[in-house]
Amino acid sequence: MVTSTALALPDYVKKLVAPAMNTKMYDHPATQANLKTLETYDYQIISPKESLLACGDHGKGALADLNTILERIKETLDEQTL
């Protein structure tokens, strides 16, 4: 449903993505290719952080800090209202 909604949005609407997953999933070539594809469609990627993951591993893939996400949202909204 999220994908369908995002596809229906006009091109001028800024879109942010904050991926979070296991390090092996994040580093997988298919995931990296998909993130690059999203960037070609002007999606802004908020990179995950390195931390303890839900699976118990430590590595890159944890959701970015909420303050980081909120700041990027604020910056994006400020850009759109100018």
Active site residues: 55
Beta strands 15-17; 58-62: pairing state:
unpaired
